[in-house]
């Protein structure tokens, strides 16, 4: 089941249903005005409201007899899955190529350093993966953190007590399609929540988080009527929030189309959210009933600097399409691969995912919108997207004998500077 979820994650279409080395262009640093301290309005009585505290996940893994081998031609996203495995008996000195494509977590037991490849440091990789990249942490140091802006996420069961986001979580509700097999925390929920508002890995570490957890329903077919109900629940909740603490964006790492069950219901609910001024970001980027915001997501080698634009490349699962001629200039590109997120296995535990999917990109974009809404509360989805594309960077990649242009890559500092300039006018 976990492998099936990861395959679907690659396309940003999670199995969920809702209910209630390159040269980079040179650009002068953008001048950012630090955010002025503000007193936030008081939230309504009853918040935070957390309906349940799901138990941590237990993957029940043990020792590995051999290290999996990475095959670049394979479509399996979990080829070198070392999460919660014991590798202490292995000699991995000749396995650097495979280890650089590995997923692992705080429960992975490594051999002593003298049986690891020279220069391979899991803790360094984990730490680099915690950085949301593209200069986001520099914005946080200027007080641009999403403070006072609400982000709503509809996803799978959440470990509500994780230290990355527990103090940002104001609302947690579960839908009635969560059955016995979905009672424990999911890897997907912890990841998307921490990418959005995590205190160390998140894009908007002081945004307010409202979360509706969902399950699979009674069959493997997603009924998007449940997601529609979740969106309407969010809209009703938003009516109770004071000005200055409103939910501005809904993140749903899933996609739908005219053939989907419940399509009429979900399109109607999204229309209501749009009419209320919210951005709904999902993977239905070609569906005109959503916002039609086209994006794609980037790869990064595990030891490359997340803040350097030159570290980025096409994501692992679509790189070949790009080098075969895929056109990208109408899509905003954001980080995806080589990310460290909250782990569902414990409140202070983390996991590194070498290969990501659109599911990781969607909360990244949602949280960037929260930063924009903090800086300019009058921002609209259309203006945000236009500015993000216009201020994005394009880099040049060498691949074989050819040079490729990759962009526009989100430039958070340039985007915020443009918003601040517009606000001042």
Task: For tokens 């790009």, name the residue.
Answer: 322
Q: Which CATH number covers residue 220? A: 3.40.50.200
How confident is the model over 112-128, as pLDDT tens digits? 999 999 999 999 999 99
Is residue 8 very low, low, confident or very high in pLDDT (cuts 50, 70, 90)? very low
Is residue 423 very low, low, confident or very high in pLDDT (cuts 50, 70, 90)? low
Asked whether residue 254 is domain-assigned, the answer is yes
Task: For tokens 């505290």, name the residue.
Answer: 53
Q: 275: domain range? A: 2-25+45-54+138-424
Is residue 3 very low, low, confident or very high in pLDDT (cuts 50, 70, 90)? very low
Taking the CA of residue 12 as centre, how many other CA atoms within 13 Å lie in the half-sphere pointing to its CB? 24
Asked whether residue 133 is domain-assigned, the answer is no
Q: Which of the two residues, 28 and 152, has the higher pLDDT score?
A: 152
pLDDT at 29 over 60: no
Asked whether residue 341 is domain-assigned, the answer is yes
What is the C-alpha separation between 377 and 82, in angstroms, rounded? 43
Q: Which of 5-14, 288-297, 365-374 has the lowest mean pLDDT?
A: 5-14
Bridge partners, 109 (sequence order): 86
Average pLDDT, the chain: 90
Percent of the chain with pLDDT over 70: 91
Total count of domains within the chain: 1
Q: Which of 17-21, 109-113, 195-199, 285-289 has the lowest mean pLDDT?
A: 17-21
Q: What is the pLDDT of residue 380?
A: 96
Is residue 398 very low, low, confident or very high in pLDDT (cuts 50, 70, 90)? very high
What is the C-alpha separation between 109 and 28, in angstroms, rounded? 44
Asked whether residue 310 is domain-assigned, the answer is yes
Asked whether residue 88 is domain-assigned, the answer is no
CB 178 within 8 A of CB 214: yes
pLDDT at 28 over 60: no
Q: What are the structure tokens assigned to 149, written together?
A: 């802006």
Asked whether residue 87 is domain-assigned, the answer is no
User: Is the peptide bond prior to 408 cis by the omega test (within 30 degrees of 0)?
Assistant: yes
CA dihedral 333, 338, 339, 344 (to 10 degrees): 130
CB 33 within 8 A of CB 376: no
How confident is the model over 58-82, as pLDDT tens digits? 988 999 999 999 998 887 778 999 9
The pTM of the full predicted model, rounded to 2 decimals, is: 0.93
Phi, psi for residue 40 in degrees, rounded to 5: -80, 145
Q: Which of 148-152, 240-244, 287-291 has the lowest mean pLDDT?
A: 287-291
């Amino acid at each position: 089941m976990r492998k099936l979820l990861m395959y679907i994650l690659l396309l940003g279409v999670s199995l969920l249903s809702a209910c209630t080395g390159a040269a980079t262009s040179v650009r002068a640093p953008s001048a950012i005005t630090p955010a002025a301290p503000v007193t936030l309005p008081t939230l309504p009585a009853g918040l935070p409201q957390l309906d349940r505290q799901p138990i941590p996940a237990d993957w029940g893994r043990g020792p590995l007899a051999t290290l999996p081998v990475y095959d670049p031609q394979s479509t399996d996203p979990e080829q070198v899955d070392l999460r919660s495995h014991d590798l202490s008996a292995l000699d991995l000195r000749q396995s650097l190529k495979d280890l650089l494509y590995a997923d692992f977590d705080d429960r992975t037991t490594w051999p002593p350093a003298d049986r690891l490849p020279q220069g391979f440091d899991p803790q360094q990789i984990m730490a680099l993966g915690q950085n949301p990249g593209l200069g986001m942490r520099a914005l946080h140091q200027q007080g641009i953190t999403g403070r006072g802006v609400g982000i709503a996420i509809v996803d799978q069961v959440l470990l509500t007590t994780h230290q990355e986001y527990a103090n940002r979580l104001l609302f947690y509700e579960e839908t009635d399609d969560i059955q016995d097999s979905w009672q424990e925390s999911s890897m997907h929920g912890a990841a998307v929540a921490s990418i959005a508002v995590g205190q160390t890995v998140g894009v908007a570490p002081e945004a307010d988080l409202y979360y509706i957890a969902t399950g699979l329903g009674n069959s493997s077919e997603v009924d998007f009527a449940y997601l529609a109900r979740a969106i309407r629940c969010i809209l009703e909740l938003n009516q109770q929030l004071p000005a200055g603490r409103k939910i501005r964006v809904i993140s749903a790492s899933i996609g739908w189309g005219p053939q989907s069950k419940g399509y009429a219901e979900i399109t109607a609910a999204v229309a209501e959210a749009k009419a209320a001024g919210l951005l709904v970001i999902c993977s239905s980027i070609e569906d005109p009933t959503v916002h039609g915001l086209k994006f794609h997501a980037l790869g990064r080698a595990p030891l490359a600097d997340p803040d350097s634009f030159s570290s980025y490349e096409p994501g692992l699962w679509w790189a070949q399409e790009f080098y075969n001629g895929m056109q990208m200039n109408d899509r905003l590109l954001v980080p995806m691969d080589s990310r460290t997120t909250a782990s569902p296995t414990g409140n202070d535990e983390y996991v590194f995912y070498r290969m990501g999917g659109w599911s990781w990109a969607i909360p990244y974009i949602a949280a960037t919108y929260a930063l924009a809404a903090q800086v300019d509360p009058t921002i609209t989805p259309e203006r945000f997207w236009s500015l993000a594309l216009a201020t994005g960077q394009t880099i040049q990649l060498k691949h074989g004998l050819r040079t490729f242009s990759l962009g526009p890559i989100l430039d958070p500092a340039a985007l915020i500077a443009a918003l601040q300039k517009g606000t001042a006018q």
